[in-house]
Structures are given as structure tokens and as C-alpha cells.
Structure 1
Amino acid sequence: MALITVKDLSLRYGANTVLRHVNLSIEPGEIVTIVGPNGSGKTSLLRAIIGATSPLAGRITLQPGLKIGYVPQKLHIDPTLPITVERFMRLTNHVTRQDCANALETAGVPDLLKRQMSQLSGGQFQRVLLAGALINRPDILLLDEATQGLDQPGSAAFYQQIETVRRDTGCAILMISHELHVVMSASDRVICLNGHVCCEGSPAVVASAPEYRALFGTGTGGALALYRHDHDHNHDHSHDHGADSQEAAE
């Protein structure tokens, strides 16, 4: 049974319909990435799934007892607030210190338990948010552009950690990302959204779809080149050049 099933979902804010007749499902253990231009309804879809927004029409069905971990796009904490990572993680969770330590280890930052939140780098802060989402051992993680504001090495390391989390915990991942080259190397399935589902499938299938090319233009070649480079170990010059072009386009 699918963890999450979205059937004929439409969503409106005021007079603006942001999603129309969206259908998708997320299976256990898979990594699915949603891509699309700004204003395409990506965050609105995640908000609807977690119950923060009510649909205009359609239905969202969650597997009975489904546990969801959510990593927001950004979270602001007053830098003058004296709060440790452990205390931050326990604010909204009835968990033990060991639970916090285990979640931080899964998120790849086992040494941050006693660190002040104000002392964390951007990458460490996002790992703590990831640990907070993992602390109750979710069946699926939802990530809303969780690497926004990180530099490229920090972003790449975060996505590598996501793959490790999936491997070690077996949880599914549904994430929004604007980093097309990462999407192509880290996802089992890609959903291209622009108010509706334009196309979906494996990264290679989506990258060659006319709807995807119409939205992302010449960046497609680079994204697919890097995907092939990672998965087929093809080191020819044209693929390397394509990956460079993708990075330049972003």
C-alpha cells in the first residue's frame, strides 16, 4: 500500500488556484523529488499533505498510522536566545537525551548535542532540523528545499546524508529541490510540477520529457549528463561539459 496517495487535488488561495487535478503516490522506501518553477505549487502540495492547508477539491489519503517527519524550508531562531541543540530538539518532542543523540547521529552530526543553536553553521543547523524530523522514526520524510542558503559542498553533503538516512532507516523521502543536478543523481523518481503534474518518472525519463525541457531549457542536458556520469560512470568530454553547463545555468 502506498504511504501517501493524492487524488485529483486542487488547491486555491483566495482567487488564485495554485494546484489543479494533481495525482501522485509515494511508495515505501523511495526517494521522490518534486521540481518546478517558482509559484508552481510545490510547497503548497507539501503543506496540504501535512494538513496545514485544506484542499479545494480532491483527496489525500495517508497509510493508517503513518508517521511523517517534516523539514521546513527555513526556520528562524533569535540568535540571542541561549538554547542548546538538545533543548531545542526536546521542545516539541517528549524524548530522552539518548533519543536526541541517536537522531543527531543518523543526521550525521553526532557531536552537536550540547552546542548552542546560535553557534551552528548553516549546514549544521539544517542537520539539526533533519535530526528533529527523524527523532520519532518517521515512515516518510518531507523536505521543503532543505538546502536553501547552503553552498554547493554543504548542499551536496546534505543530500548524501539523505541517501544514508534512507539506507539506514528505510524511510521514504519526498523532497522539493531546485538543484536539478542533485535531483538527477539522488532520486528514484521525479515529479515535475507547474500547477499540475507535467510529467513524472525516473530521472532519465523526466529529463528527456518535452514538458521538462520547456520549463528548464538548456539546463536539462547538464542535469542528465551528471545523472549518467554518476550512474553509468561515463567520463566522456561531452558529459563533463554538460555538467559544467548545468552548474553555470544555476
Structure 2
Amino acid sequence: MDHVRAAPGGRQVLHDVSLALAPGEIVTVVGPNGSGKTTLMRLILGAVAPAGGSLRRKPGLRIGYVPQRLALDAALPMTVARFLSLPRRHCASARAVALAEAGLPADIAARPLQALSGGQLQRVLLARALMSAPDLLILDEPTTGLDQPGAAAFYRRIEALRDARGCAVLMVSHDLHVVMAASDRVICLNGHVCCEGTPETVASAPEYRALFGTGTQGALALYRHEHGHRHDHPHPLPDARDRGAA
């Protein structure tokens, strides 16, 4: 997207936002409430049309979406297998592969969604997003309700999926001080792109500290992997016409 403006309902939420996502890149978006994170996500998903600027997608782009939460009606029980086959039916082997990639055993497919823990349900949502073999995986605050070890394990799972599939990942975080150590790029959003770069670069940026310095002292909590591995990818913001996913 180039210099995009968004005004859903006639109220300007985003202005002059330029963003390109490359295959295999993990980008995390942080920002305060009302900063336009959800609108940015909806623009990329095609649920909101830009009010200005241009938005281009790779032809045939497949997007997998992991929502923040799933409202479950206890009166309408549904098994994991049935949920994974919506809106299109998938064979048992395809479901098993997606569940394994999300870190779940194949036999969980027979369990009702209502019987799952919060962490299990979040991984089922991830498995469902993987069923479409996405080029771009979008996650909206995927670790809501998880403790720190659970969140760290989920982030490592996302990095492993990126490595295995080569898909781009866009993570939208409402937790202002928690960012995946695996992120190639962090974008600080507040109606526009305030600053961007590596997690360390954004943590020390004056624009970030001006927004979030109080309470967190401007520090990003970076989940480190036991093996200390980090991917060293370049971090420029290229023209969307020359780079991959969106």
C-alpha cells in the first residue's frame, strides 16, 4: 500500500500509510487503542476500501487470518474437525497436517470446541488459517489470555511456520511492550506510521518513547529463544510493486 488513507464511516482513522510485506518476513504492528491497527488489518483483508492512496495485492494472494477471539455458542456444539472444514470440506489427513503445524495432536479433531483451553483454541484458529496454504498469515493479538510461557511458545510456533512455509506474517499486537524476538520489522502506528525498524530500533525511537515511555519506560519485552537464533533479514520498506505478499 502506498500513502493509503482510510476513513471507515466517514471518520479518518489512517492517513499516509505506506507498507509492503515480503515473503518470509514477520512484521509486528504495535500502537495504542484507536491507532488504526484494526483498520490496517481490515484494509489488507479487503474488508475496508481505502479512501485515498493505492493498495495492491499479489495476484492470487492467499491470506490466512487468526482472529483475536472466537465467540462460541454452547447451544451449538461443534467439533474441531467440523470447524476446520468450514467453509470448505477438508480430508482428515489435511486437518491432521494443519493441527500438527499448529502444535496440536490429530486426535483433538474429535473434541468439541467448547471443551478446549484458551491456548488450544488459539492453536485451532491457527490451524484453520493454515488450511488455505496462505501466502500471508495475519494474526490479531493471538496470545490474548495466554501466560508468558504460553505466549512465547506460540511466537516460536509462528517463527517455525514462517521458516517451513516461507509465508509472510503480519502480527497486530495490542500489548504495547511485547514483541516477538523473531520480528524482522516492528511498525509503530498512531493514525500513521510513527516509526519502524527492528524491535531494538523501535524501542529506542523517540516517537515510540513519546507514546509508550510511561509505565514501560519505552522498553519492548523481547522474547528470546533458548538457542539465541535470530534471522538477519534486511529491513528497508520497499516499493510494494517490487516485493511479495501484499
TM-score when normalising by structure 2: 0.85
Q: CA deviation at 1:225?
A: 7.2
Residue 46 of structure 1 corresponds to 41
Cα displacement string for residues 207-246 of structure 1 (whole angstroms, at most 9, x for unaligned residues): 111001111105255426766999599xxxxxxxxxxxxx
Task: State percent identity of aligned pairs.
Answer: 56
Relative distance call for 1:211 and 1:231 in structure 2 (3 A) is farther
Residue 82 of structure 1 corresponds to 77
Cα distance between partner residues in 1 of 2:62 and 2:20: 16
Q: CA deviation at 1:150?
A: 2.2
Answer whether contact 1:36 1:193 (CA < 8 A) is retained. Answer: yes
Cα distance between partner residues in 1 of 2:58 and 2:130: 18
Answer whether contact 1:184 1:223 (CA < 8 A) is retained. Answer: no
Residue 245 of structure 1 corresponds to none
Say whether 1:122 aligns with 2:138.
Answer: no
Relative distance call for 1:231 and 1:216 in structure 2 (3 A) is farther
Whichever residue aligns with residue 179 of structure 2, its letter is V
Relative distance call for 1:225 and 1:109 in structure 2 (3 A) is closer
Answer whether contact 2:6 2:51 (CA < 8 A) is retained. Answer: yes
- Cα RMSD of the aligned pairs, angstroms, is 2.3
Answer whether contact 1:143 1:176 (CA < 8 A) is retained. Answer: yes
Q: CA deviation at 1:174?
A: 0.5
Answer whether contact 2:8 2:48 (CA < 8 A) is retained. Answer: no
Q: CA deviation at 1:165?
A: 1.0
Cα displacement string for residues 14-65 of structure 1 (whole angstroms, at most 9, x for unaligned residues): 3421001100100110100000000000011010111111111112111111
Answer whether contact 1:29 1:172 (CA < 8 A) is retained. Answer: yes
Gaps of 5+ in 1: 1-5, 234-250
Relative distance call for 1:189 and 1:29 in structure 2 (3 A) is same
Residue 26 of structure 2 corresponds to 31
Which structure shows the higher helix fraction? Answer: 1
Whichever residue aligns with residue 223 of structure 1, its letter is L
Say whether 1:205 aligns with 2:217.
Answer: no
Relative distance call for 1:39 and 1:99 in structure 2 (3 A) is same
Say whether 1:174 aligns with 2:170.
Answer: yes
Residue 193 of structure 1 corresponds to 189
Residue 237 of structure 1 corresponds to none
- In the TM superposition, 1:47-62 aligns within 5 A as 47-62=42-57
Cα displacement string for residues 90-145 of structure 1 (whole angstroms, at most 9, x for unaligned residues): 02123211111110000001241111111000010010000000012111100111
Relative distance call for 1:179 and 1:189 in structure 2 (3 A) is same
Cα distance between partner residues in 2 of 1:55 and 1:97: 39
Answer whether contact 1:10 1:20 (CA < 8 A) is retained. Answer: yes
TM-score when normalising by structure 1: 0.84
Whichever residue aligns with residue 160 of structure 1, its letter is R
Gaps of 5+ in 2: 231-246
Residue 88 of structure 2 corresponds to 93
Answer whether contact 1:42 1:176 (CA < 8 A) is retained. Answer: yes
Cα distance between partner residues in 2 of 1:116 and 1:226: 32
SS of residue in 1 equivalent to 2:126:
helix
